[in-house]
Amino acid sequence: MNLSITDRLVRVSAGLGMVVVDYAASIDWDIIVIVVGCWGVLTSAFGFCPFYKLMGHSTCPI
């Protein structure tokens, strides 16, 4: 795990918000918004971000 609780809450809120906006509105970038939204939800659910790992960054207090 490399995500703190705060980081996970922000990611899940933003991800779900993007998914809801995508379904509620008809915009031209549907796939991009869904992918980014799902990425935020999935990284929050698992508590792990591969990009953080590549950069050697961690917000997890442990």
Domain boundaries, the chain: 1-25
pTM over 0.85: no
Q: For position 55, what pLDDT does the model report?
A: 93
Rounded distance between C-alpha atoms, residue 4 and residue 60, angstroms = 4
Q: Are 60 and 4 in contact (CB under 8 A)?
A: yes
Rounded distance between C-alpha atoms, residue 49 and residue 62, angstroms = 15
Q: For position 31, what pLDDT does the model report?
A: 85
Token pair for residue 30? 């549907």
**Dihedral pair phi/psi, residue 49, rounded to 5°:** -120, 115
Q: For position 11, what pLDDT does the model report?
A: 93
> pLDDT tens track of the chain, all 62 residues?
889 999 999 999 999 999 888 888 777 778 888 899 999 999 999 999 999 999 999 898 87
Token pair for residue 20? 């809801």
Q: For position 22, what pLDDT does the model report?
A: 84
